[in-house]
Structure 1
Amino acid sequence: MNSMRLRPVLTALGLNAVPAWGWFVGEWSAGTMLVLYWLETLIGTLFLACLIIIHRRIRPSRGHWDYHAPQGQASQTGSGRSTYLTTFLVPAVTFTAAHGIFLAALGFIAIKNNLSPEARVNVHDLLAGLIGIALFQSADFIFDLIWLRDRPFAWIEKLGQITFARVIVVHLTIIGGMAAVIFTGANRNFFGVFIFLKNLMDRIGSPKYKNTTFAQFWKQTDDQEDARVARNEKPMEASVA
């Protein structure tokens, strides 16, 4: 059990060590860093989508096919049924795609107007960082697959909430740091502050619920959530009537 609790922490540290090393030691450009962070969130989103698809095949809970979101969270499909895959993937991919377009425009403007050499992307550095990040994300994905059959729907729902929150916070934080470096000529150390904030977000968001059992999760759920969680957790076969 201790190793299961330690693994998400080590994964988060590994994922953040790669870009941190590139920035502080490898002198990677700000543009390279930004594209690398964007790719990290995209890969993480796609890996989680794969986990959701596999989980609903081996544990077809009602929440996968007729998802009830927490109070205050808008449905992505309006009226009618909404799968959890759609509820997670549509906003995550939309936000990531919009962010990618924004980054491309930002980089084009910076390079065209010669605002800063930091805006340029070094393909060699980017590939090196991408390989490192992909290795850690792939290892984390494989370990999740090993114990996926024993995970309740509540686990994968919480993982989706954490992932989407991280997508938003990381993107907005890194955009702010990048804009400061590219357009104001701020010292490279200024962007290091945003790398630290990104690391902190990963540490806060990653391990809390990832390796809890259903009984542990149930105790942490407040009374207003009990009915919703129980409904989503029911086997699909038993709920069709």
Structure 2
Amino acid sequence: MFRCDDWRVPPTPPEQPRANQFAHLLTLVAANAIPAVGWFTQEWSAATTLIVYWFETVAGLLFIYARGVLQQRWNPRRGHFRYEAPQSKDPQGKPGSFIKGFFFINAVFCAAHGVFIAVILLILSHNGNAELVGLDWRSAGIGCLQMLVIVVVDFLVDVPYLRRWSFGVLEQTANRSFGRVGVVHLALIFGIFAAAVTNSPARMFGVFVVLKTLYSLSTALPMYEPATPPKWLSRAMNRIRREPEGQRFEDMWVKDQAAEVRRRTRNDEVWTGAGR
């Protein structure tokens, strides 16, 4: 039987210097402050705010792709070329560039997202909420330019350390960065839709701006990956779930964690066939 004490969590990937972590925190705060300040103090419309949010997504995607391309060139790892995704049943990994696949999927998402925002704004214009649309191209342009500066600074902070990054750091950076923005943008889209059908559209959209900001800032917190599950969770799940005979929830937890460590280790193996 797989016991909880059969496995220990390996050391996490080397972190960047504290100065870099602080710089990333500052850029995260600044990126969230620009649209929030614009909406609450500069009388930005929902359209102006959404365009700035959407531009942040696109710019962030481009510079995540740049990180991946540079790291793949400077420090090629197995995950760059035969990426094994979480819960994958094929230990050999899927052939193809991880960063190109990531870019293609998320670029399609960004394009569809832009179309969706345009449709929602048209709906607002036609149902009497034109004050929410009121797109100010000058404010949107300034906001997007400020976002671009922040994203570039965030990228330049990482460049000197890309050679030292493990593949896991790139994977985590890509998933965290775009996952955060993607989820939040979906919330904003539904928020602007809710604003369109309520009697207080501006107030409703303001609530979603606050929630977006809080959610984004929460991603700066370290990931919680305990070697064993909390005891209260184990007790509850052992009562609810029926594990295979002789196994407990905590045993399955540790087994899954060990499989995840092996996956990360395989992805981070030095790639010797990059030129083949």
TM-score scaled to structure 1, two decimals?
0.84
Q: Report which of the two has the higher share of helix.
A: 1
Amino acid at match of 1:229: R
Question: Counterpart in 2 of 1:146?
Answer: 160
CA separation of 1:72 and 1:170: change in aligned 2, threshold 3 A: farther
Show structure 1 runs of 5+ residues with no match: 210-220
Which one of the candidate residues 42, 45, 48 is aligned to 1:29? Answer: 45
CA contact (8 A) 2:71 2:162 kept: yes
Q: Report the Cα distance in structure 2 between the residues aligned to 1:141 and 1:11, rounded to whole angstroms.
A: 10
Q: Report the Cα distance in structure 2 between the residues aligned to 1:18 and 1:232, rounded to whole angstroms.
A: 37
Q: How many pairs are equivalent?
A: 226
Which one of the candidate residues 257, 261, 270 is aligned to 1:226? Answer: 261
Q: Is the aligned partner of 1:235 residue 2:270? A: yes
CA contact (8 A) 2:191 2:208 kept: yes
CA contact (8 A) 2:84 2:94 kept: no
Q: Report the Cα distance in structure 2 between the residues aligned to 1:55 and 1:22, rounded to whole angstroms.
A: 35
CA separation of 1:143 and 1:123: change in aligned 2, threshold 3 A: same
**Rg larger for:** 2
CA contact (8 A) 1:8 1:207 kept: no
CA contact (8 A) 1:119 1:182 kept: no
Which one of the candidate residues 101, 110, 113 is aligned to 1:99? Answer: 113
Q: Report the Cα distance in structure 2 between the residues aligned to 1:179 and 1:171, rounded to whole angstroms.
A: 12
Show structure 2 runs of 5+ residues with no match: 1-16, 224-255
CA separation of 1:73 and 1:23: change in aligned 2, threshold 3 A: farther
Question: What do the CA deviations read for 1:76-130 (whole angstroms, capped 9, x no partner)?
Answer: xxx9513211332222112111111111122223324543321231101101111
Cα distance, 1:34 vs structure 2: 0.9
Which one of the candidate residues 143, 168, 173 is aligned to 1:129? Answer: 143
Q: Is the aligned partner of 1:70 residue 2:86? A: yes
What RMSD over aligned residues (CA atoms) do the two structures have, in Å?
Answer: 2.5
Cα distance, 1:22 vs structure 2: 0.4
Amino acid at match of 1:133: M
Amino acid at match of 2:66: C
The percentage of counterpart residues that share the same residue type is 31
CA separation of 1:207 and 1:10: change in aligned 2, threshold 3 A: farther
Identify which range, 180-189 or 130-139, moves more after superposition.
Answer: 180-189
TM-score scaled to structure 2, two decimals?
0.74
Partner secondary structure for residue 185 of structure 2: helix
Question: Counterpart in 2 of 1:4?
Answer: 20
Identify which range, 19-28 or 97-106, moves more after superposition.
Answer: 97-106
The ranges of structure 1 where at least 4 consecutive aligned residues each deviate by more than 3 angstroms after the TM superposition are 112-115, 206-209, 238-241
Q: Is the aligned partner of 1:189 residue 2:203? A: yes
